[in-house]
Amino acid sequence: MSKELHVATMAKLFAEGRQPEVLFWVGCAGSFDDRAKKITKAFVKLMNRAQVSFAVLGTEESCTGDPAKRAGNEFLFQMQAVTNIEIMNGYGIKKVVTACPHCFNTLKNEYPGLGGHYEVVHHTQFLNQLLEEGRMTLEGGYFRGKRITYHDPCYLGRANSIYEAPRELIRKLDAELVEMKNCKKKGLCCGAGGAQMFKEPEKGEKDVNIERTEQAMETEPEIIAAACPFCNTMLTDGVKNKEREASVAVMDIAELIASAEDL
């Protein structure tokens, strides 16, 4: 992937005495999950197109520790976090962008207490900034008039009050943004947060992701837009449960922007 999409590692740039504009924190999902890898590639493609100087840690990147912390293992979280902080501080990292709200929240709000002080931005904020600065243009013709509903990831929305950047990007596609009854501050979790992604759900009347998918379906969308790899998985599973995968797509904001540019 690195050769095809022009991705430099921090180790290589550091050896050459160069410092990138931003470190792209890929995250575990973006690195290893087959579906999330497509989001990673879409975002990298857009950064290349905008001629952003960026690098990844590659094999030096480890889990931020978010799942361990949410599951109650504070000791493991701190071990993982301190390892990452030592590596990033060693490279003199100042700015970090990530497509995962879980990584975003942990790097932004929990790493400073352990000595990791960085400017951390979510990829929707970063893409919106690139467009506003004129470093990237967007022809949204392919999505013009398409009904798109947007799901607010918990760690992007309610935890960090980032609601407008992803919506602005959808509007720039000339799409019809239709809101679910639970959105923004009243958004509903996809069901994956708090390390729930990695365990079977407790017994109940209905899985959270099914409830959220039903709310999305009420808007009669052609596309459910997400901005988190975990949300993407849970909503995709929900759409499959409703046997609607042929008519409703689940896409990350970066994929929407990249698709609009490619077509």
Which domain-ending residue is among 98, 129, 160?
129
- Among 110, 72, 35, which Cα is nearest to 195's? 72
Q: What pLDDT shows up at residue 263?
A: 46
Report the CATH number at residue 6.
Answer: 3.40.50.1860
Token pair 């950064």 is at which residue? 47
Same domain? For 230 and 168 the reply is yes
Is there a single domain that holds both residue 177 and residue 158? yes
242 and 208 part of one domain = yes
Let me know whether 34 and 125 are in one domain. yes
Pair (144, 124) in one structural domain: no
pLDDT at residue 195, rounded to an integer: 66
For 259, the 3-state DSSP assignment is helix
Statement to judge: residues 152 and 117 lie in one domain: no
Is residue 209 a contact partner of residue 191, using CB atoms and an 8 Å limit? yes
Domain boundary pick from 82, 112, 129: 129
Say if residues 118 and 88 touch (Cβ distance below 8 Å): yes
Residues 184 and 111 placed together within one structural domain of the fold? no
Same domain, 171 and 242: yes
Same domain, 83 and 158: no
pTM: 0.94
196 and 150 belong to one structural domain: yes
Which one, of 108, 107, 164, 179, lies nearest residue 132 by Cα? 164
- List, run by run, the mean pLDDT of 10-residue segments along the chain (263 residues): 75 96 97 97 96 97 96 96 98 98 98 98 98 87 91 97 97 95 96 72 84 97 97 96 96 94 56
For residue 133, the model assigns a pLDDT of 95
Q: Which ranges in the chain belong to alpha helices (H)?
A: 2-5, 10-15, 27-32, 34-49, 66-70, 74-91, 101-105, 123-132, 164-172, 208-217, 229-241, 253-262
The boundaries of the domain holding residue 6 are: 2-129
**How many domains are contained in the chain?**
2
- Shared domain check, 48 and 15: yes
Q: Are residues 7 and 115 in the same domain?
A: yes
